[in-house]
């Protein structure tokens, strides 16, 4: 069912994901909800 949506070079798959992880394919309703740069503060 999910094969058309998963990249061929995917190493890991997280279903019902709430955030993005490096080198993972994340599938879920809230994956990009909190990914906007405006929601983060720059730390120096």
In this structure, what token pair is assigned to residue 3? 């094969």
How far is Cα 27 from Cα 23, in angstroms, rounded to an integer?
13
* pLDDT > 80? residue 34: no
Q: Is the pTM of this model over 0.75?
A: no
Q: How confident is the model at residue 36 (pLDDT cuts 50, 70, 90)?
A: confident
How far is Cα 28 from Cα 32, in angstroms, rounded to an integer?
9
Q: How confident is the model at residue 21 (pLDDT cuts 50, 70, 90)?
A: confident
Share of the chain above pLDDT 70, in %: 100
Please answer whether residues 10 and 23 qualify as being in contact, where contact means their C-beta atoms are separated by less than 8 angstroms. no
Which stretches does DSSP call E strand in 1-44?
12-15, 24-27
Q: How confident is the model at residue 42 (pLDDT cuts 50, 70, 90)?
A: confident
**16: closest CA among 4, 2, 35, 36?**
2
């Amino acid at each position: 069912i999910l094969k058309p949506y998963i990249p061929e070079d995917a190493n890991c798959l997280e279903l019902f994901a709430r955030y993005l992880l490096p080198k993972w394919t994340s599938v879920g309703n809230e994956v990009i909800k909190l990914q906007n740069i405006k929601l983060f503060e720059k730390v120096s």
